[in-house]
Amino acid sequence: MPTPVQILGLTQEKINFNLDPFFKILKSIGNNHFVVFSINGNSRTGKSLMSNFWLQYLHNQSDPNWFQPCKIQNRFKWQGGTCRVTEGIFVWPEPLKVLNKDDGKETFVILMDTQGAFDEQTSTHENAVIFAFSLLLSSVLVWNQPKDIGDDLLQFFQMFLGFAKLAVDDESHHQSENDE
């Protein structure tokens, strides 16, 4: 079975993009519908474990007994404790097909797992890049928050909404220049 591939890595305050695997996945999908399903959240909150559950479900959709915790494969690496395991952003290298039961149309799912935010080793800038990049690529972004949402998290989201607004405004500006 394949293993997740890293599309964004962090090394000594340097951000490394490796989008070739992502583009390869998109090419294999062709003109079919797809969604990019990403999970984000604080460090050490079970994002990679949750990604493994999604992977298990998508591989066994037709089996009503798909949820067998003892049979969950550790494809997206995770472990208990305080040391981070996921560094950067990883995607599952194969799109996972979902069949719409109502109309029979296929949609492909690309699973994306991200490094936890707010650990002691990652700068605010690196957290921002990981979050922003996964947000830009995602159709669905899940923020895994096992406890109460505090003011610090709301401020974090407000900061990223500001970045997103700037990006949209900048794109609109470029689009209007190209239309002239």
Are 117 and 97 within one domain?
yes
Are 76 and 106 within one domain?
yes
Are 143 and 171 within one domain?
no
The CA R_g of the chain, rounded to the nearest whole Å, is 18
Residues 98 and 108 sit within 8 Å (Cβ to Cβ) = yes
**Residue 81, phi-psi category: left (phi > 0), alpha (psi -120 to 50), beta (remainder):** left
DSSP string covering 47-105: HHHHHHHHHHHHHTTT-TT---GGG----S---SSSS----SEEE-SS-EEEE-TTT--
Per-residue pLDDT, averaged over 72-83, amounts to 73
- The pTM (predicted TM-score) of the whole model is 0.79
How confident is the model at residue 39, as a pLDDT? 92
CATH number (domain holding residue 64): 3.40.50.300
Are 170 and 132 within one domain?
no
Number of domains in the chain: 2
Are 96 and 170 within one domain?
no
Are 105 and 158 within one domain?
no
pLDDT digits (tens, 9 = 90+) for 17-52: 999 999 999 999 999 999 999 999 888 677 898 898
Are 93 and 177 within one domain?
no
Residue-number span of the structural domain to which 177 is assigned: 151-180
pLDDT digits (tens, 9 = 90+) for 153-177: 778 778 767 766 676 676 566 566 6
Per-residue pLDDT, averaged over 129-151, amounts to 84
Are 119 and 172 within one domain?
no
Are 163 and 132 within one domain?
no
The whole-angstrom separation of Cα 54 and Cα 69 is: 12
